[in-house]
Amino acid sequence: MTVFLSLGTNIGDRLHNLEKVYFLIEMEEKINIISKSKIYETSPVENLNQEYFLNQIIKIDTDIEPLQLLNLIKNIENKMGRIKLKKKYMPRIIDIDILAYDKLILNSNQLSIPHPKIKSRKFILKPWSDIDPNYILSNSKSTIKELLDNLSHLKDEVKEYN
């Protein structure tokens, strides 16, 4: 199955955090990273009182079921030192989200696929448009590029990281 994951980090050595997460994901036997977007430095959203993020989208191939994949991702976040707080949108060493899992639509207490906030997040849509601009979410008629173009009015910053 083709799966898109978002990666985000705004604590510590952000570039190293991304490199470490690739390594931990690739250590999993049933996951193959197919492609990675460019890395973008992005302004925080929701909670503005924190450092800028590095964000990236990766495309993977896996046959791991969605809830198992979610557990695996949470374990990787824990290995990297992520502390899950009750309060949302706080600084984090790593955040990994399942954005889309093939053409699956899933809504459970644990996981929603496609991720419910994709359509309002430039920091997801911009890097995603690097690797698959014509992808259409299972709950949409618009391409990733079209969804991104619809957000041109938003003020949040998304710039390529050098």
pLDDT of residue 13: 97
pLDDT digits (tens, 9 = 90+) for 73-85: 999 999 999 987 7
How far apart are alpha carbons 57 and 19 in whole angstroms? 13
Closest CA to 63 of 6, 2, 22, 146: 2
First to last CA, the chain: 31
**What is the DSSP code string of the chain?**
-EEEEEEEE-SSSHHHHHHHHHHHHHTSTTEEEEEEPPPEEE---S--SSPPEEEEEEEEEE-S-HHHHHHHHHHHHHHTT----SSSS---S-EEEEEEETT--EE-SS-EES-TTGGG-HHHHHHHHHH-TT-B-TT-SSBHHHHHHTTTT----EEE--
Rg (CA), the chain: 15
Query: Which residue range is the domain that position 26 belongs to?
Result: 2-160
Domain count, the chain: 1
* pLDDT tens per residue across all 162 residues of the chain: 999 999 999 999 999 999 999 999 999 999 999 999 999 999 998 888 899 999 999 999 999 999 999 999 999 999 999 987 777 878 999 999 999 999 999 999 999 999 999 999 999 999 999 999 999 999 999 999 999 999 988 888 999 998
CATH, residue 76:
3.30.70.560
